[in-house]
Amino acid sequence: MKSFLSGNHNAMLLACYRMRMRPATVLSAFILLLIIQIFTLLHATIIMFGDFNNVVNEMLVVTYSCQCLVMFLGAVRAGASVRQERISGTLAFHRVSPQSRLAIVMGLLIGAPILEWILASVLLPGVVLLGFLSGFSILDICIYECALILSALTISLFFIVGVLQINDERLKSTGSFLSNGMAFLVLYMLIFTIPSFSMMGAAENNYSACYHAFTPYFFFRIVEQAFSKEISWIPLNIALGIQLSVQIPLLCLGFWLAVRRLKSPDSPLLSKAQAYAVVLFAFALYLAELINNFAGESAHPEFVLGLAPLSCFMGLFGAFMTSPNRLLVIRGKCLKSGGGLAAWRRFPLSDSASCLFWLIGYSILTYLMTVVIWLLFNTLITNFYVSNNLSFLLVACGFVLAQVACFGGLYERFLLGRFHKSASLFAVFIFILWIVIPLFGLFFEEGSVMYWVGLVFSPIIASPTMVINYGGSGFTTGLQIFLWSGIVINLLLAFVFFSSVMKLRKRLK
């Protein structure tokens, strides 16, 4: 670890340090920070003249906000540095040097935002002093700072991973890169905001894995703690514990993904093991939220049905990320045929394997989750409404898994066949199938044949629609027919696609 964090041993860290720590750059950053602090002090003094406590509170909040902002800019900087490294080709030089891949990632993670880290640490004494004056304990301040550092590391690492995942052509185009960045940010916000909204009213006094685990929570909390002093939220140390239990696995996952990308950039975006790890992580978060939600007074029995859209989303994500490309299929053929190619053990055959194998494992995992939920709510938490929902959940999960299998087969057939040259055509086809046809179907009367037919092949619209429909009308005959026929049709199509995939593979052999 020491060698990873020393410029004398970590080349990437040294390069970032040399570039970012030029005296002129550092000086201008410090001056900018000083100006912000002076203006804040003036503003607080003028507005709240005579009220010393409020001046201190405002200064504390602004200083902590500055730390948050600077750390976030550091994370953006880390992503931008990886992009620059890839475009200029210097990352390739690091890749063909005898450094460990982990050292390169650590160098980027710590080195690229090093100036921002130093600026944030310069603000630290200010936060401590203002915190004391504002009545915070030393433990509180430590917890707020730990939460911030952990979040900054996680976001930086995920920016790095995000930029490593983008292919070269998209990376070189600034517009494409920015749109990818925006999409990433929106996804990040959604991931953290949706659970927060879902917890509103239900989890304020309870423990929410999603809500308490990310930076905005601590930011809003410090504001409330500074001004109102009436803390209705959970103890701060428990909130930090939740954050550690979520973000440390996320950090490990981030390192794993980044190291894999540096080792074999031509492989599928995720290995099958990584895809399973992501799914397990998401399911664990969901389960934690579920337990938390039902432990509270205001229980939402329908929340258990969230597993259906979640398994749909994670299934599509996994099928997309683990599908082998044509190159890997050919390599898989070489590996199988042997003949002097046994040396190519670095690329495991599983990477070339069809995503069908991943989908089977994923289906088992999803059904294990439903069994866990069923056991939980029939033994530990006896809840009639939830038990009643489970029969629908089993069929709904089967339906979304069939849809995912259908998409996985189609996507793999597309990649292995000649179609892969026209990616835009595939995107248009999926857009029509997933968005246009279902929206057209929704114009028809609810429960009519046309209404349901439009949804058969659209996982993203069918999942929420069937849950809403079930919430409104229950498990009606129409819904049952739709789900069972959807399962049969999608599985038949998946069978056709995967059979075709297997034939293609045989031909490649």
Partner 1 sequence: MISIQGLRVDYDTVTAVAGVDLEVHEGEIVGLVGPNGAGKTSLIKAAAGLIEPIGGRIVLAGADMLLDPEKGWLHMGYMPDFSPVYEGLKVWEYLEVFAVAYRIPMQERMGRIKYWVERLNLNSKWDECIQGLSRGMRQRLVLAKTLLHQPDVLLLDEPASGMDPLGRIDLREILKERAREGVAVLISSHILSEMDELCTSLAVMEKGVFLVSGTLADIRSTLRSESRLHIQLIPPVESAIELLEKWPGISGVQAKDSHTYTADFSGGEESAADLLAALHHAGARVSSFSREPEKMESLFLQIGGKEVS
Residues lying near partner 1 in the complex (CB under 8 A) are found at: 7-11, 14-15, 18-19, 22, 88-90, 92-100, 264-267, 326-327, 330-331, 334, 340-341, 343-347, 420-421
Instruction: Give the span between the Cα atoms of 368 and 351, in whole angstroms.
Output: 25
| CB-nearer residue toward partner 1: 92 or 186 | 92
The residues near 440 (Cβ < 8 Å, ≥ 6 apart) are: 454
Shorter beta-carbon distance to partner 1: residue 14 or 29:
14
Query: Whole-number minimum distance, CB 95 to partner 1, in Å?
Result: 7
Give the whole-angstrom CA distance, residue 181 versus residue 159. 8
Cβ distance to partner 1 smaller for residue 58 or 351: 351
Q: How far is the CB of 86 from partner 1 (least distance, A)?
A: 10
The two structure tokens encoding residue 207: 């423990």
Residue 44 CB coordination number (10 Å): 19
What span, in angstroms and rounded, lies between the C-alpha atoms of 412 and 263? 24
DSSP class of residue 443? T
**Distance of alpha carbon 83 from alpha carbon 170, whole angstroms:** 11
Q: How far apart are CA 478 and CA 449, in angstroms?
A: 9
CB 322 to partner 1: min, Å: 17
The count of other CB atoms within 10 Å of the CB of residue 381 is 14
Rg of the chain over all Cα atoms, to the nearest angstrom: 26
Nearer Cβ to partner 1 (345/506) = 345
Q: What's the closest the beta carbon of residue 238 comes to partner 1, in angstroms?
A: 43
Query: Residue ranges of the alpha helices (H) in 264-383?
Result: 272-295, 307-322, 326-337, 349-352, 355-375
Give the Cα separation of 136 and 138 in Å (integer): 7
| Shortest CB 81 distance to partner 1, Å | 10
Which residues, in sequence order, are CB contacts of 330 under 8 Å at separation 6+? Answer: 508
Closest approach of Cβ 344 to partner 1, in Å? 6
- Inter-residue contact 324 to 351 (CB < 8 Å): yes
Structure tokens at 247: 């973000």
Of 15 and 120, the one with the shorter C-beta distance to partner 1 is 15
Min dist. Cβ of residue 94 to partner 1 (A): 6
Judged by CB, which is closer to partner 1: 13, or 310?
Answer: 13
**Shortest gap between Cβ of 451 and partner 1 (angstroms)?**
41
* Minimum CB distance to partner 1 smaller for 229 or for 420: 420
Residue 97 or 121: the one with the smaller Cβ distance to partner 1 is: 97
